[in-house]
Amino acid sequence: MFILKKTQSSLNIKYIKFKASYFFDIITTGLPSLARQGLASISTMLLNNAAGVYGDAAIAAMSIVNRISMFVFSCALGIGQGFQPVAGFNYGAKKYSRVKRGFFFTLFFGTCLIGIASILVYISAGSCIQLFRNDPLVIKYGIPALHAQCIALFFVPFQVCNNMMFQSIGYKFNATFLSTLRNGVYFIPILLCFSFFFGLAGIQVAQAVADIMTCFTCIPFTISFFSKLPADGK
């Protein structure tokens, strides 16, 4: 399509420029994704290490619960990524009202979708875990953790919408900071403290507590951003 000149944009070697500012923008814009995915790997290792004290069944249960909740979480992440070009394009075009409407539409649609999925998984928690491993002890350990995760998933779309919006419009500090909360700033200390004070029960609810705290932390960022958003074209 580029060779046949059927696009408004064109590709040409003469347009390629190597500037430090370009590389800086690319790296800083990608930092939220790096933090989100990197901390997810670190938190998984710490979770397995904490659960390992209670045997292989606990590790298996938490791994299965994480995979099930991640499958539901991915729906919210995908919807948020679909919102990114809408937010970025309209913010750049100074159509700020569209950014706001797009944010709340994405939040509403994502919450409804995640809510339905969470309720279904909550009701059939034991059966969902059994699909991965038919072990009574694994199912016993996994059900409370999955129930907690399903409740916390209602708070996930709001944090995803904030993260994706700030990343796509160039609010790099906000996006990077918020992306470190769920699997890093909140989850890691909560996991370590809860596992020490509450044992396995603390490990089971650590991610859910981190999700809820992350959601509430996003609220002042959202209010501040939309309160300062100018009228269209300004």
- Alpha-carbon distances of 142 from 21, 46, 48, 59, rounded to whole Å: 48, 17, 13, 10
Predicted local distance difference test score (pLDDT) of residue 126: 93
Predicted local distance difference test score (pLDDT) of residue 170: 86
By the 8 A CB rule, do 179 and 33 touch? yes
Long-range contacts of 15-21 (CB under 8 A, 24+ apart): none
* DSSP structure class, residue 124: T
By the 8 A CB rule, do 165 and 87 touch? yes
Predicted local distance difference test score (pLDDT) of residue 150: 95
The whole-angstrom separation of Cα 173 and Cα 215 is 17
Counts of helices then strands in the chain (DSSP H, E)? 9, 0
By the 8 A CB rule, do 58 and 200 touch? yes
Query: In sequence order, what DSSP letters do the residues of 137-165 get, joined into one string?
Result: HHHHHHHHHHHHHHHHGGGHHHHHHHHHH
Predicted local distance difference test score (pLDDT) of residue 59: 94
Largest distance between two CA atoms of the chain: 66
- Listed by start position, the domains of the chain span 39-228
Predicted local distance difference test score (pLDDT) of residue 32: 84
- What tens-digit pLDDT sequence spans the chain (234 residues)? 777 777 877 777 888 888 888 888 888 888 888 888 889 889 989 999 999 999 999 999 999 999 999 898 888 888 988 999 999 999 999 999 999 999 999 999 999 999 999 999 999 999 999 999 999 999 999 999 999 999 999 999 999 999 999 989 989 889 889 989 988 999 999 999 999 999 999 999 999 999 999 999 999 999 999 999 988 887
By the 8 A CB rule, do 42 and 183 touch? yes
Predicted local distance difference test score (pLDDT) of residue 146: 95
The whole-angstrom separation of Cα 186 and Cα 193 is 11
Name residues whose C-beta falls within 8 Å of residue 23's C-beta, 6 or more positions apart in sequence. none
The whole-angstrom separation of Cα 186 and Cα 111 is 22
Predicted local distance difference test score (pLDDT) of residue 76: 84
By the 8 A CB rule, do 147 and 125 touch? yes
Predicted local distance difference test score (pLDDT) of residue 77: 84
